[in-house]
Amino acid sequence: MNRLLILALLLPAEAFAASFERPIPQPQTDAAEFWFLLASIALIAALIAVQMLVNRR
């Protein structure tokens, strides 16, 4: 019975979470900026294509 009480007192100590640490934003790399530019151009091209398709009907 004594061991069960000690075990019950020790287990909740492991359940406490660590304090929150704010994430530090990382700077954009040149490769990330290039792929974002490429994706933005592709999105604009797709929107223009959809607009032309809708106007034709």
The per-residue DSSP string of the chain comes to: -HHHHHHHHHGGGGGPPPPP-PPPPPPPPHHHHHHHHHHHHHHHHHHHHHHHHHHH-
At 23 the pLDDT is 87
Model pLDDT for residues 9-49, shown as the tens digit of each residue: 666 655 566 788 888 988 889 999 999 999 999 999 999 99
pTM check: above 0.95: no
Hey, what amino acid is at 37? L
- Who's near 13: CB < 8 A, 6+ residues apart? none
